[in-house]
Amino acid sequence: MIDDCAKEHLQGVLREMRSAMLWKLDGLSEYDVRRPLTPTGTNLLGLVKHLSVWESRYFGEVFDRPFLEPLPRWSDVDEPGSDLWAAEHETREQITGLYRRVGEHADRTIAALSIDSPGYVPWWPRPHVKLFDILVHMLTETSRHAGHADILRERLDGSTGTAAAYATPPLDTAFRAARYAKIERAAAASGGGTEPDQPG
């Protein structure tokens, strides 16, 4: 009974984080969902693509229940990290549709297995796992990238949150600049900061 409750809870939160990832794209242009927003190239649509690849692997091949559609390559020697951004020919609909189908496949795997069902992750130092381990790992990974997505979306239009019902409305530019400067002054006053930059 406790095992079923734990599985149901972890799966429920994972579903919420999947929804948050997709919601972060709502209302943005094709350019804004794709463009790099950090020096390493992190971008919103790329995060969704990346999660599609890894969730399909963790809830697919790890439990000998492979996801049967072709997937973007994650280990392309000629293009390392190609699972982290969308190429020109890849549409938003293709990537978000893939993510939804991967989630459905993962949910079927979770439903079919008990929380202590064994799996095998050949790329982990301790490859013998249970469904519980993978649920926790994938929930952690998805939550981490949802946090990245929240920061990226804030950089684009100031909105934050994990769901439309709880979204922080975009702040006006003057308010944001004043708050940024206030926080920067406090940081500098604490010991050796530089002159305030403006938010990017």
Q: How does DSSP classify residue 62?
A: G
| Torsion on CA atoms 91, 95, 96, 101, rounded to nearest 10 | 140
Q: What are the tens digits of pLDDT across the range 103-116? A: 999 999 999 999 99
| Torsion on CA atoms 101, 102, 104, 110, rounded to nearest 10 | 170
- Mean pLDDT score, 65-85: 79
The first and second tokens of residue 196, run together, are 């305030």
151: left (phi over 0), alpha (psi -120 to 50) or beta: alpha
The first and second tokens of residue 101, run together, are 């189908």
User: Residue 195 above 90 pLDDT?
Assistant: no
Residues contacting 113, CB < 8 A, separation 6+: 63, 131
The first and second tokens of residue 73, run together, are 């390559």
How far is the C-alpha of 44 from the C-alpha of 35, rounded, in Å? 8
Q: What are the tens digits of pLDDT across the range 1-55? A: 678 899 999 999 999 999 999 999 999 999 999 999 999 999 999 999 999 999 9
User: Residue 194 above 80 pLDDT?
Assistant: no
> Rg of the Cα trace of the chain?
19
How far is the C-alpha of 152 from the C-alpha of 162, rounded, in Å? 13
Measured between its terminal Cα atoms, the distance across the chain in Å is 50
- Mean pLDDT score, 157-181: 78
How far is the C-alpha of 128 from the C-alpha of 118, rounded, in Å? 7
How far is the C-alpha of 141 from the C-alpha of 155, rounded, in Å? 21
- Mean pLDDT score, 72-82: 68
- Mean pLDDT score, 166-187: 80
- Structure confidence at residue 198 as a pLDDT band (50, 70, 90): low
The first and second tokens of residue 170, run together, are 């975009």
